[in-house]
């Protein structure tokens, strides 16, 4: 947003009372026949309507002025301004992948899973569950122990990029099926949220780099982050594998990028790659970090559900979209998040990780097993 002091200099919003007094004085000096502009009179009301319209028009002009520049525009205004740079906001999309259904007896009859069948996750602390719909009829043939069922999330959003082992339930009982799960690398297309103003604006401001005759760091970042499903891109153009090499590390909405997403990013890089550039596109490496902490609470505070709320706070802290420095995790961050969410806690002691984590930029820290010990004072 433009500095309010600058806006007040360029387009000051007049004070209603001062504007009224000034207008009445001007009318009197011009010899206007009507002199009764006291509150409650019809001419006072008409004058106030006109003056309010004038003030609202000035405020509208301030809004327009504030959104005429890419660095200040917001919302739909930003979409309009970014179009000047041939940029479009990335839209939300649904997660796609495979859910694996299994049985212990391969001699059983064939089991059909109809299109539209619903699989879902366990309910979270708020009682919410995520649902996934089968995309096509799938049959677990006789003689086979398991098969993969293609599914799509019920709604758009990155929250459907759940970790392995989270989709474990069926809305309708499947006779003969003993287990349901989503395995490692189950996602074939990452779900995504609508691009934020901050991310969209940053891509627009980097547009000038695309005018360079040879692709540079910002050019690769801009082109790759324009791909749906890509959250962040780290580019190392300082010859990491020798002269002329460039490494592009992709962090998806799910953390690790699927092979399909990497192929799309590679195709995008090909459109700007110089003939002598050796570009390697790879996924960020997720690191499941176990977290253990002890919280101290007043003896009068009810402990029921407290550990679950602390765990939810840590999971929220480590959500990929919440943090730009995805390879870092400090004790101070954990303690601050827990105390912010649960202000009645007296003390928080982090025992794992043993020290602050600062990993390579190609890694993404995700929550592993979370252990919370509650003790009173």
pLDDT digit string, tens, across residues 71-96: 999 999 999 999 998 899 999 999 99
**What is the C-alpha R_g of the chain?**
29
Region of 42 on the Ramachandran plot (φ > 0 left; ψ -120 to 50 alpha; else beta): alpha
Tokens standing for 106? Answer: 């391969």
CA distance 102 to 360: 38
pLDDT at site 21: 85
Q: Read off the pLDDT band of 214 (50, 70, 90).
A: low
pLDDT at site 43: 82
Q: What's the topology of domain 212-283?
A: GMP Synthetase; Chain A, domain 3 (3.30.300)
Tokens standing for 136? Answer: 């096509």
Cα 189 to Cα 120, 151, 300, distances in angstroms = 18, 11, 48
pLDDT at site 25: 85
pLDDT digit string, tens, across residues 238-250: 999 999 899 999 9
Asked whether 272 and 221 are in contact (CB, 8 A), the reply is no
Q: For residue 83, report the phi and psi dihedrals to the nearest 5 degrees.
A: -60, -25
pLDDT at site 323: 59
Return the C-alpha torsion angle 160, 291, 311, 94, nearest 10: -10
Q: Where is pLDDT greater, at 328 or 4? A: 328
Hey, which residues does 134 pair with through a beta bridge? 151
Q: Is the pLDDT of residue 146 over 80?
A: yes
Q: Could you tell me which residues come within 8 angstroms of residue 60 by beta carbon, excluding any fewer than 6 positions away?
A: none
Q: Read off the pLDDT band of 111 (50, 70, 90).
A: very high
pLDDT at site 103: 95
pLDDT at site 213: 59
Tokens standing for 159? Answer: 């929250």
Cα 39 to Cα 36, 48, 51, distances in angstroms = 9, 10, 14
pLDDT at site 161: 94
Average pLDDT over residues 230-234: 91
Q: Is the pLDDT of residue 41 over 90?
A: no
Return the C-alpha torsion angle 119, 125, 126, 127, nearest 10: 40
Q: Is the pLDDT of residue 303 over 70?
A: yes
pLDDT digit string, tens, across residues 261-300: 999 999 999 998 888 889 999 999 999 999 999 999 887 7
Q: Is the pLDDT of residue 217 over 90?
A: no
SS3 labels along the chain: CCCHHHHHHHCCCCCHHHHHHHHHHHHHHCCCCCCCCCCCCHHHHHHHHHHHHHHHHHHHHHHHHHCCCCCCCCHHHHHHHHHHHCCCCCCCECCEEEEEEECCCCCCCCEEECCCCEEEECCCCCCCCCEEEECCCEEECCCCCEEEEEEEECCCCHHHCCCCCCEEEECCCCCCCCEEECCCCCEEECCECCCCHHHHHHHHHHHHHHHCCCCCHHHHHHHHHCCCCEEEEEEECCCECECCEEEEEEEECCECCCHHHHHHHHHHHHCCCCCCCEEEEEECEEEEEEEEEEEEECCCCCCCCHHHHHHHHHHHHCCHHHCCCCCEECHHHHHHHHHHHCCCCCEEEEEECCCCEECCCCEEEEEEEEEEEEEEC
pLDDT digit string, tens, across residues 147-195: 999 999 999 999 999 989 999 999 999 999 999 999 999 999 999 999 9
pLDDT at site 65: 92
pLDDT at site 353: 94
pLDDT at site 134: 98
Could you tell me what percent of the chain has a pLDDT over 90? 62
Cα 369 to Cα 195, 254, 291, 305, distances in angstroms = 30, 18, 6, 17
Could you tell me what percent of the chain has a pLDDT over 70? 98
Every domain of the chain and the residues it spans: 4-66, 96-189, 212-283, 286-376
> Which range has the worst mean pLDDT, 111-115, 191-195, 316-320?
316-320
pLDDT at site 135: 97
CA distance 45 to 329: 61
pLDDT at site 322: 62
pLDDT digit string, tens, across residues 354-365: 999 999 888 989
Asked whether 234 and 325 are in contact (CB, 8 A), the reply is no
pLDDT at site 251: 92
Q: Is the pLDDT of residue 125 over 80?
A: no
pLDDT at site 281: 97
Q: Could you tell me which residues come within 8 angstroms of residue 24 by beta carbon, excluding any fewer than 6 positions away?
A: 37, 47
Q: Is the pLDDT of residue 230 over 80?
A: yes
Average pLDDT over residues 14-28: 86
Cα 76 to Cα 92, 192, 301, distances in angstroms = 16, 19, 47
Of 208, 233, 230, 229, which Cα lies nearest the Cα of 220?
233
Q: Is the pLDDT of residue 321 over 70?
A: no
């Amino acid at each position: 947003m433009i500095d309010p002091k600058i806006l007040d200099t360029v387009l000051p919003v007049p004070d209603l009372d001062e504007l009224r007094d000034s207008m009445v004085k001007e009318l009197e000096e011009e010899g206007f026949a009507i002199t009764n502009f006291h509150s409650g009179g019809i001419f006072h009301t008409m004058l106030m309507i006109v003056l309010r319209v004038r003030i609202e028009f000035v405020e509208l002009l301030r809004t327009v002025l504030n959104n005429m520049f890419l660095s200040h525009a917001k919302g739909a205004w930003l979409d309009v301004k970014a179009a000047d740079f041939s940029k479009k906001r990335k839209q939300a999309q649904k997660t796609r992948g495979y859910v694996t259904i299994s049985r212990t007896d391969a001699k059983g009859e064939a089991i059909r899973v109809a299109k539209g069948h619903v699989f879902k996750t366990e309910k979270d602390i708020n009682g919410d569950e995520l649902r996934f719909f089968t995309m096509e009829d799938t049959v677990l043939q006789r003689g086979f122990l398991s098969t993969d069922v293609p599914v799509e999330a019920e709604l758009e959003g990155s929250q459907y990029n759940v970790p392995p082992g989270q989709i474990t339930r069926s809305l309708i009982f499947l006779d003969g099926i003993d287990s349901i799960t989503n395995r490692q690398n189950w996602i074939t297309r990452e779900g995504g949220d609508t691009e934020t103003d901050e991310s969209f604006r940053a891509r627009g401001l980097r547009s000038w780099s695309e005018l360079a005759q040879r692709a540079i760091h910002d050019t690769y970042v801009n082109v790759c982050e324009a791909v749906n499903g890509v959250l962040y891109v780290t580019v190392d153009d300082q010859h990491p594998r020798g002269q002329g090499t460039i490494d592009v590390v992709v962090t998806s909405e799910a953390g690790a990028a699927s092979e399909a997403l990497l192929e799309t990013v590679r195709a995008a890089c090909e459109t700007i790659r110089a003939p002598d550039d050796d570009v390697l596109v790879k996924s960020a490496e997720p690191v499941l970090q176990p977290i253990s902490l002890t919280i101290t609470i007043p003896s009068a505070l009810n402990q029921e559900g407290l550990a679950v709320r602390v765990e939810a706070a840590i999971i929220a802290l480590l959500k990929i979209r919440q943090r730009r420095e995805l390879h870092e995790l400090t004790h101070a961050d954990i303690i601050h998040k827990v105390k912010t969410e649960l202000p009645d806690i007296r003390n928080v002691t982090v025992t794992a990780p043993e020290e602050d984590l600062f990993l390579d930029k190609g890694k993404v820290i995700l929550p592993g097993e979370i252990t919370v010990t509650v003790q009173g004072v």
